[in-house]
């Protein structure tokens, strides 16, 4: 039976690629199926091989590799000012080994990612303002995506159930407000995930997330400004243990986007206060005072030259916990944000996160030809607090005796739109130069040599 399925699937793939060989960037499943304008139907599939060696994460030795598959199927209906949308996701892996972190960051089989109804007006109450409201299960990208994001590199995607509203004056300002329940991807235990078990994802009222986000364009220096505040309140549920975060997170962002022959910059500052637990363990019932902060600054220049090179200097600081024995928690929580665009590949690699880091870096972006883009980047990493955890490496020295220098990461990526809007090929590499903390912290791997990560992926959108 499995052989028949494989033959059937292989035949479909061969037919599909045969048709694509004659495709152009204007080819779409929508047109091939002759669907009406009010109905949208798309399929996205990504296959990625990735692996690294030797280990750098606490309690592991050797390396790891997987093949990750993600398929998204979306259907949308538009009628007048109304819209309906539904999106399904199937994210799974194969080739995993003893070091593979079987978790809901990699696996979410047959999940309902989005199911919403929306309405919009270009002139609400004849005010000249644009209004948009969307209710139901949905994904969100907000601002810089550092705190709220629809994941791109990661195999699974954050989603929420609730209401998202946007009031705006086009080309001037936008005010966005939302009240949602984060969705828990299920099952979430390693045994069930490894066995390929399936279960409906669910949200509950023990965890809610609300926020207000305001942005304004055309500020001095042709810049954009953003102000926001988010509130997260969560408790344990039978399905999902949490660190019982009750956090208020206000912040601001000021950015000048890149233009040929001009400087660009970005600065973002965030503070965080409230209460949280140190771990999600059921026996951990100690509420800690939570105060943390995060800052990002980058300065770049886009050369008006062939290959369109852009050179960027970057700096990120995310606070860590100063003392593991006191009643305070100072480690910054990135909420539902993404990190691949700043700290390198995630998935089974994920060496660095927006927590307990002090990191300067440099990045060079380029476009050799129309459909080929790439970058090379280098960053150095220190722990913001030597007694707190290196989150990406799952290592901690509560005494602080192992130092604070984690090491350096160099990475490179190439992305080729082989058939624009349809087929994209991407490959990347990361190298971790291990520093004193990565080598000497308790439970660090026996192999102290540097680690290398490689991936290659194919993405198809029809």
Residue 281 has pLDDT above 60, yes or no: yes
E strand or H helix that includes residue 248: strand 246-256
Q: Which residues of 218-252 are buried (b: 16+ CB within 10 A; e: fewer)?
A: eeeeebbbbbbebbbebebeeebbbbbbebebebe
pLDDT at 227: 99
Q: Which domains does the chain have, with CATH numbers?
A: 2-461 (2.40.160.100)
Give pTM, 2 decimals. 0.92
pLDDT at 129: 97
Mean pLDDT throughout 358-383? Answer: 98
Q: φ and ψ at 317, to 5 degrees?
A: -135, 125
C-alpha span between 219 and 198 (Å, rounded): 49
Confirm if 220 and 255 have CB atoms less than 8 A apart: no
Distances (CA, A) of 404 to 90, 228, 314, 398, 401: 40, 32, 20, 12, 9
Confirm if 211 and 107 have CB atoms less than 8 A apart: no
pLDDT at 305: 95
Confirm if 353 and 392 have CB atoms less than 8 A apart: yes
Please tell me whether residue 32 adopts helix, strand or coil conformation: helix
C-alpha span between 48 and 94 (Å, rounded): 11
CA of residue 244 relative to chain centroid, distance: 22
Distances (CA, A) of 344 to 17, 102, 141, 222, 390: 31, 20, 19, 29, 15
Question: Per residue in 408-461, pLDDT tens?
Answer: 999 999 999 999 999 999 999 999 999 999 999 999 999 999 999 999 999 999
pLDDT at 280: 86
DSSP one-letter code for 342: H
Confirm if 384 and 420 have CB atoms less than 8 A apart: no
């Amino acid at each position: 039976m499995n052989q028949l399925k494989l033959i059937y699937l292989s035949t479909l793939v061969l037919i599909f690629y045969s048709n694509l060989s004659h495709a152009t960037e204007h080819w779409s499943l929508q047109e091939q199926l002759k669907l009406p304008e009010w109905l949208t139907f798309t399929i996205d599939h990504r296959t990625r091989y990735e692996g690294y060696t030797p280990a750098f994460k606490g309690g592991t030795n050797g390396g790891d590799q997987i093949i990750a598959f993600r398929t998204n199927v979306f259907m949308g209906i538009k009628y007048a000012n109304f819209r309906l949308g539904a999106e399904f996701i199937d994210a799974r892996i194969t080739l995993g080994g003893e070091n593979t972190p079987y978790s809901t960051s990699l696996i979410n089989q047959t999940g309902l990612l989005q199911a919403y109804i929306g309405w919009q007006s270009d002139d609400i109450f004849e005010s000249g303002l644009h209004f948009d409201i969307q209710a139901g299960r949905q994904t969100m990208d907000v601002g810089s995506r550092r705190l709220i994001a629809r994941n791109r590199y990661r195999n699974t995607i954050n989603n929420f159930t609730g209401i998202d509203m946007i009031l705006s004056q086009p080309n001037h300002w936008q005010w966005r407000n939302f009240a949602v329940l984060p969705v828990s991807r299920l099952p979430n235990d390693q045994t069930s995930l490894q066995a390929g078990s399936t279960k409906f994802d669910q949200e509950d009222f023990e965890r809610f997330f609300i926020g207000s986000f305001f942005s304004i364009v055309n500020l001095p220096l042709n810049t954009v400004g953003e102000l926001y505040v988010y509130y997260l309140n969560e408790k344990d549920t039978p399905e999902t243990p949490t660190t019982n975060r009750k956090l208020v997170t206000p912040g601001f962002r000021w950015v000048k986007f890149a233009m040929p022959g001009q400087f660009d910059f970005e600065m973002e500052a965030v503070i965080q206060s409230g209460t949280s637990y140190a771990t999600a363990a059921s026996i951990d019932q100690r509420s800690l005072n939570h105060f943390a902060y995060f800052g990002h600054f980058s300065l770049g220049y886009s050369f008006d030259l062939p290959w369109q090179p852009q050179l960027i200097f970057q700096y990120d600081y995310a606070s860590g916990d100063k003392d593991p024995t006191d009643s305070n928690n100072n480690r910054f929580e990135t909420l539902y944000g993404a990190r691949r665009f700043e700290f390198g590949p995630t998935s089974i690699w994920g060496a660095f996160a927006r927590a307990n880091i002090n990191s300067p870096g440099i990045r060079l972006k380029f476009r050799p030809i129309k459909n080929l883009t790439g970058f090379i980047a280098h960053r150095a990493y220190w722990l913001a607090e030597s007694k707190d955890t290196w989150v990406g490496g799952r290592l901690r020295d509560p005494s602080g005796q192992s130092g604070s220098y984690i090491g350096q990461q160099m990475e490179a990526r190439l992305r080729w739109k082989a058939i624009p809007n349809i087929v994209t090929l991407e490959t990347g590499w990361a190298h971790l130069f291990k520093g004193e903390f990565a080598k000497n912290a308790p439970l660090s791997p026996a192999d102290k040599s540097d680690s290398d990560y490689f991936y290659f992926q194919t993405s198809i959108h029809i």
